[in-house]
Amino acid sequence: MNIARPIRMPFETPPATGAVIEVAQGIFWARMPLPMKLDHVNIYALADDDGWTLVDSGMNSGKSQRIMADLLAGPLEHLPLKRVLVTHHHPDHVGLAGWLAQTYGAEVMMSRTAWLMARMLVLDVQESWPVETVEFYRRAGMDADILAARLAERPFNFADVVAPLALGFRRIEAGDVLHLANRKWDVHFGHGHAPDHVTLWSRTDDIVIAGDQILPGISPNLGVYPTEPEADSVGEWLESCTRLLPLARPDHLVLPGHKLPFTGLAARLEQLIDNHHGALARLRTHLREPATAASCFMALYGRSIEAGEYGLALVEAIGHLNHLHRLGEISREPGADGAYRWHIC
């Protein structure tokens, strides 16, 4: 039985750019900068006799390549880079993986779904907005000024920040046991934030490499996108957290994809689950009157949403609405403007 201990941060200060912190024997923590409000991604270097395994990589850019090269020629210089293990397909995690494979001969390790998603999205370059994406935004009730501003610009493409992926990779499957950093790691998949998201649970000691599946201080974004507009991201994520909760031990040190490493894994999982159930309860009350996804922000988040976070807030609102719709609790009808109005059945 798990005992939910308080959440604590053993490391108060993150590593500076180009530096590393040893968080456990043979496991080193570094950070790569990101050009967004969440301005960093954590990466971890795992030492084995034959070389490093790098967990996640940051976005691809000239600046990121220089920082990574300096890491590998500086604090990580005493071993060669052998493997890049990517927890999930999002650009801040997979961005440099292809470049590292090409430049250093590293093997790329991913779940099959993550590799297929990343490779497909890198190859699918859009110079103008797809009809399906515009329709998706209109059905969500996106603010007209924000939609007009988006349509006036070139769409974001994975290829803008993700290096081309090599044709071959090593597949990671749920239930695998990986041998890294002189430890045996059990592989458990999470879902909701990203499909087939890899998490690693050490059998040897109390280390969990969680990627973005479990984060301290913030919730992973549970967005729904035009590629799968009916997805139940919230339901998938709640199932994953509930399934992972019995694995949590009081002394686990969790190495997340963002923010600081922490202990108190069971408490954090319970907190995250409760937070989303609370958001769903507020949404049910809000939907006593018909509402678009874009008009659910205050009910879900309890605050106004700024332009820089509008897109992520919108796709997560759709995730919560799709979950209640999947449960049969709410219905939707399109309005004259093409936006869905959601309401309690």
Q: What is the DSSP string of 172-198?
A: E-TT-EEEETTEEEEEEEE-SSSTTEE
Q: Residue 1: pLDDT band by 50, 70, 90 thresholds?
A: very low
Q: For a pLDDT cut of 70, what percent of the chain falls above it?
A: 99
Based on C-alpha coordinates, what's the Rg of the chain?
Answer: 20
User: What is the distance of C-alpha 77 from the center of its chain?
Assistant: 29
Q: What tens digit of pLDDT does each residue of 123-135 get? A: 999 999 999 999 9
Domain 21-127+158-279 in CATH 3.60.15.10: yes
What average pLDDT does the structure give for the chain?
96
Alpha helices (H) in the chain, listed in sequence order:
62-73, 91-94, 97-104, 112-123, 131-139, 144-151, 233-244, 265-286, 297-301, 307-326
Q: Are 4 and 273 in contact (CB under 8 A)?
A: no
Q: Are 339 and 135 in contact (CB under 8 A)?
A: no
Q: What tens digit of pLDDT does each residue of 95-123 get? A: 999 999 999 999 999 999 999 999 999 99
Does residue 2 carry a pLDDT above 80?
Answer: no
Handedness of CA 107, 113, 114, 119 (dihedral sign): positive
Q: For a pLDDT cut of 90, what percent of the chain falls above it?
A: 95
Q: What is the pLDDT of residue 166?
A: 85
Compute φ and ψ for 330, nearest 5 degrees: -135, 160
SS3 call for 52: strand
Does residue 20 carry a pLDDT above 60?
Answer: yes
> The tokens 């988006």 sit on which residue?
150
Report the relative pairing of strands 170-172 and 107-111 from DSSP bridges: parallel
Cα(83)–Cα(47) distance, integer angstroms = 11
Domain chopping of the chain, boundaries: 21-127+158-279
Cα(59)–Cα(33) distance, integer angstroms = 8
Q: What tens digit of pLDDT does each residue of 159-202 get? A: 999 999 988 999 999 999 999 999 999 999 999 999 999 999 99
Cα(148)–Cα(172) distance, integer angstroms = 41
Angle at alpha carbon of residue 244, lines to 176 and 89, rounded to 5° = 60
Q: What is the pLDDT of residue 3?
A: 55
Q: What tens digit of pLDDT does each residue of 290-311 get? A: 999 999 999 999 998 988 899 9
